[in-house]
Amino acid sequence: MTFRAPVRDLAFALKTVGHPQLLERAFPDLDDDTVQAVLEAAAAFADGELAPLNRQGDQQGARYENGKVSAAPGFADAYKHFVEQGWNSLSADPAYGGQGLTKAMELSVFEMVHAANMAFGLCPMLTQAAIEALAQHGTERQKRLVLPKLVSGEWTGAMCLTEPHAGTDLAALTSIARPDGEGGWLLTGQKIFITWGDHDAADNICHLVIARTPDAPPGVKGISLFLTTKFQVKDDGSLGARNDFRPVSIEHKLGIHGSPTCIMAYEDAQAELVGELGQGLAHMFVMMNAARLQVGVQGVAIAERAFQQALTFSQDRKQGRPAFDDAQGMIYGHPDVRRTLMLSKAKIEAARGICLTVGVLSDLAEHAGSNAERAAARARQELLTPIAKAWSTDIGVEVASAGVQVHGGMGFIEETGAAQHYRDARIAPIYEGTNGIQAMDLVGRKVRLNGGETLRALCAEIALTAETLNQTAELDGVGRRLAAGVAVLERATDWLVAADNISALAAATPFLKLAGDVCGGWILGRQALAAAGSDDPWLQSKGALARLYASQVLTGAPGLADAIAESGPDLAETHAAALAG
């Protein structure tokens, strides 16, 4: 169950998604040596301190006793060290105590954190999302007193949306905030599924809560965003009285046992408005989108962890008569095992590249040289975010499942630890908006809303990469299949834009998978081109991974196109008979 943070893979991925060019344009004080030093230091912390706690956190978990939540054994000390070493403040604005590094560097560090210990990583992950929300929409008081504490990691953040009767349907929430007569608000209601909503690892916990005001209109237009803290914050920044909210219990879950998932009750808790009344959902989307990208990184991370364990097992386990004689009789020599591992590796690198691409785009949307460049970067960032979240987390589950399969029966028992990765991975396609919701967002807001123009621009760029691949002898098969895949995606986009709303929604999930598969092929093709001509065996393997992905994944594009175009009528017309007992 040892883990080695994939520093070399991450450094190479950063180079192939345009990170060096970003540094030259907008971060002149950063260079490749700095990036490498940050990655290596983060790897040492992830490998040495977080990874050893992962199994213990799964077996013992967080605890709820006497109305209080305690972090899993060892987690509080690890969090203290995480904060002391500065890992919480990587990309935050230096004006609030941040280090001003790039978003892609932050994502790279957090991939190692999540891979080492996903349950631990959820705590600082949500703090990062809270930082982004308050940086954009917080009041001057919140930015002065609360934001620096979140950036340092002395305080943690929690996102509080879901209620027992209202899951994804936020319009149905009933939590209410009433004016307290002194410029503040009194918050009352119950929230469920609140990750790290209470714990003993930090001095204070900052809840960003959506709720209604007494005179608010129904629906999402009546939602506002509020900040309420476990201990009230005085005007001089010191902590005051315990606020009037508490954990009712923590959930007993399939996985991520070290992460306390709380039911929280607010009983006239003192709160502050964040941003404008009635704009709570728009303000909260800043936090949600930041979390969605981080969740995509979690998918990559848990896949990496599961893959490493499966690879090690395959090289230690002797079974049968392997066909390849370079494996010393171990199951690594069976072609199907090797294919499974190599395809897992290819998908991990593809998903990693998609997530890091969104990170680079996030910085370009703020720092590019012209308004047009910033707008184009923002549009592509928004297009790729649901793909990064959904496609990458699906890959996380798929690779973790493949890891169990490589272990065979040994993977189905808890002692090997392979099952933990599968259990942990399974939440990622569900939270921060299920992957079905991500698909609806992709087709509705990101593709159809502007007639598919943003996606078509991306397809044109992918097609150019395919042409370049076709000019490289050992990669021409990759180029041919990538060109075919992107042509299918363009046709599917045309169909989607012209389709009625019900047909488009019925096609949303296969459309997102098609877009993710093609973008993954684009990422691997770019990596293969960057490595072409090298005599380094590790770099040469990039071409092999791209070829395997092209033959095993991109060849499925036409079938997905059929699924996109043909699923709607049967869902509408024959569902009752098809589902009858």
The whole-angstrom separation of Cα 32 and Cα 309 is 30
Contact assessment for residue 529 and residue 475, using Cβ atoms and an 8 Å cutoff: yes
| Element housing 366 (H / E) | helix 335-367
Which residue's structure tokens are 């044109």?
460
**Identity of the residue numbered 528:** A
> How many CB atoms are located within 10 Å of the residue 214 CB?
8
The whole-angstrom separation of Cα 411 and Cα 419 is 6
432 by DSSP, 3-state: which?
coil
The whole-angstrom separation of Cα 420 and Cα 438 is 26
The whole-angstrom separation of Cα 99 and Cα 457 is 34
The whole-angstrom separation of Cα 516 and Cα 425 is 18
The whole-angstrom separation of Cα 253 and Cα 256 is 7
432 is catalytic: yes
Of 111, 432, 467, 474, the active-site residue reads 432
Task: Look at residues 379, 127, 425, 382 and name the one whose alpha carbon lies nearest to residue 256.
Answer: 425
The whole-angstrom separation of Cα 76 and Cα 72 is 8
Task: Look at residues 488, 495, 489 and name the one whose alpha carbon lies nearest to residue 565.
Answer: 495
Tokens of 107: 């994502």
> How many CB atoms are located within 10 Å of the residue 539 CB?
16
Pairing of strands 261-274, 245-250: antiparallel
Pairing of strands 204-212, 155-160: parallel
The whole-angstrom separation of Cα 264 and Cα 261 is 10
| Element housing 233 (H / E) | strand 231-233
208 DSSP β-pair partners: 159, 227
Contact assessment for residue 161 and residue 191, using Cβ atoms and an 8 Å cutoff: yes
Q: Looking at the chain, how many residues does it have? A: 581
How many Cα atoms within 13 Å fall on the side-chain side of residue 283?
31
Contact assessment for residue 314 and residue 341, using Cβ atoms and an 8 Å cutoff: yes
Q: Which residues contact 472 (CB under 8 A, 6 or more apart)?
A: 479, 529, 532
Contact assessment for residue 267 and residue 228, using Cβ atoms and an 8 Å cutoff: no
Q: Which residues contact 143 (CB under 8 A, 6 or more apart)?
A: 96, 134, 135
For 231-253, letters b (16+ CB in 10 Å) and e give: ebbeeeeeeeeebbbbbeebbeb
| Element housing 295 (H / E) | helix 280-314
Tokens of 428: 């990622």
Catalytic residues: 432
